[in-house]
């Protein structure tokens, strides 16, 4: 089943976003988040962060998402991370987005980088380059922000929850979703 979800995800990502979605650099993504509203304060106060330049997501009933990123602690690249998501429920379409997860302190950083970490249960609606994302977590985990496209990104967020704060910037696509699933992160230190 996981192979089917990954194949569906790859097909959706390539057909909706093309090769250009894969060419983003980490520095461009960090710059977009630095200039996006409330996240600017997180850069100066956070212990570290994880950045994902492009996460591709697609689904028809069963969905999936995948992306690779880097983890930074106190300004230094300390490891790499991958995110995989499987969702079930009403969903149709494909989208690409960038994501940043800020760690408030060393404890939350260690929790995230301890091996495999999960967020769960979400509800989203993203259209073309404007997006809104609200996550409700059964495990008391994350909530995310909202944004325009990459060039006019703005974020809103209530602050850290359990020492972490997640934000997304929609890059493109069209996806309607009312589903349950979770994001699973696998960290590899340098």
**In the chain, domain spans:** 2-189
Q: Give the per-residue pLDDT at 81.
A: 96
DSSP state of 23: G
Three-state secondary structure call for residue 172: strand
pLDDT in tens, 13-36: 444 444 344 445 899 999 988 888
Structural contact between residues 51 and 70, judged by C-beta atoms closer than 8 angstroms: yes
- Residues of the chain scoring pLDDT < 70: 1-24, 120-158
- How many CA within 13 A on the CB side of residue 30? 16
| 131 beta partners | 126, 147
Q: Give the per-residue pLDDT at 124.
A: 37
Q: Give the per-residue pLDDT at 130.
A: 42
pLDDT in tens, 144-168: 444 445 555 544 445 788 888 888 8
Token digits of residue 155: 């974020």
- Distance in angstroms (rounded) separating the CA atoms of residues 142 and 134: 9
Q: What is the dihedral of CA 83, 38, 114, 122, to 10 degrees?
A: -50
């Amino acid at each position: 089943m996981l192979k089917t979800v990954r194949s569906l995800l790859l097909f959706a990502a390539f057909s909706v976003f093309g090769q250009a979605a894969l060419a983003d650099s980490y520095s461009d993504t960090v710059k977009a988040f630095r200039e996006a509203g409330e996240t600017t304060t997180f850069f100066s106060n956070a212990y570290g962060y994880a950045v994902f330049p492009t996460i591709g997501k697609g689904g028809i009933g069963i969905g999936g998402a995948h992306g690779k990123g880097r983890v930074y602690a106190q300004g230094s690249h300390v490891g790499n991370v991958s995110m995989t998501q499987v969702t079930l429920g009403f969903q149709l379409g494909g989208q690409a987005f960038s994501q940043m997860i800020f760690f408030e302190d060393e404890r939350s950083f260690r929790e995230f980088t301890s091996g495999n970490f999960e967020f769960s249960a979400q509800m989203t609606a993203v259209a073309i380059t404007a997006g809104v994302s609200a996550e409700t977590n059964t495990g008391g985990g994350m909530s995310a922000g909202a944004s325009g496209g990459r060039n006019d990104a703005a974020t809103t967020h209530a602050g850290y929850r359990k020492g972490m704060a997640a934000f997304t910037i929609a890059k493109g696509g069209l996806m309607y979703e009312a589903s349950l699933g979770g994001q699973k992160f696998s960290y590899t230190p340098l």
